Chain A
């Protein structure tokens, strides 16, 4: 299908050394895009992912370490993309981290780091990416929010706030960047099989799955499929939307 073809496009996926980010990167590569991978540091995981994807998609994969929750690093990452490709068509703001804890027992450092990793990163990267995309008068920014940001959950005040902030950023950026042909949307995943969820004990997992209408945990590829839709021209008339990819989960 031609509208799904991303040949010639350049995508940047933050936090893509594993899990959802890696699945999205792979899906975009399968659609023909060149993809810049990213992790917060030069980790063995990032190198391994780059090697693995480069074998399947030679010449299409590069990687840059940058802690995108820091303004300077975000700028450096955008410059890396500019130097390598001179353009950016798709930005997936996926980098993030959990920061759970009950109210009254959350250290200030956790609050700051969680907001920085999940929310500030989106703001910094959107600023940098919008300038690159504005040159081509077209682009797609996809922000990873969470069902925690749309519905809330006990023990997730900080993470939920950060992910709700991502939705606020998405709505405002969509309006501001539309005249430049840049679409901005968010995905709100539910309970997805990642390193974060694999560490939960079995009874918690079972309770979570029981709250999902479709009766199964989501896979990173479920998120990647929606990201591909939002990255492609199939969603050419879609902006400022938050798409829940949660199997009908109820919190």
Chain B
């Protein structure tokens, strides 16, 4: 079974079409090429599906990096 971080990396790789290893520190909203507003909503939908949750609006707006997404994944995976 994949770790929570690995599950999240898989989501980012699929949605942002990342070839090769996921460089987490480069994954920033509006900085990483494919992470625009459309990519953001696709990430949100994928995270909500994977972790069977529904994010709050302020969480969606605040999810501006991989680490921020990981924080949310941790929160909902424990819930």
The answer to the question of A134 belonging to the interface, with a C-beta cut-off of 8 Å to chain B, is yes
Main SS class of interface, B: helix
Which of B38, B48, B52 is the one whose CB lies under 8 Å from A131? B48
Within 8 A of B (CB), among A112-130: 127, 130
> CA–CA, A132 to B48, complex, Å?
9
Which chain B residues border A134 with CB–CB below 8 Å?
41-42, 45
Residue of A nearest to B53 (CB): A82
Judged by a CB distance under 8 angstroms, whether B56 is at the interface is yes
Chain A residues 75 to 120 lying within 8 A of chain B, measured CB to CB, are 75, 78-79, 82, 86
- B48 — which chain A residues lie within 8 A by C-beta? 131, 135
Q: Is the CB of A131 within 8 A of B45?
A: yes
Residues of B25-41 at the interface with A, using a CB-CB cut-off of 8 Å, are 38, 41
Residues of chain B contacted by A130 (CB below 8 angstroms): 41
- Where the two chains meet, the residues of A that have a C-beta atom closer than 8 Å to any C-beta of B are 71, 75, 78-79, 82, 86, 127, 130-132, 134-135, 179
Q: A131-B44, A134-B45 are in contact. List 9 more A-B contacts (CB 8 A).
A: A79-B54, A82-B54, A86-B52, A127-B57, A131-B48, A131-B54, A134-B41, A134-B42, A135-B45
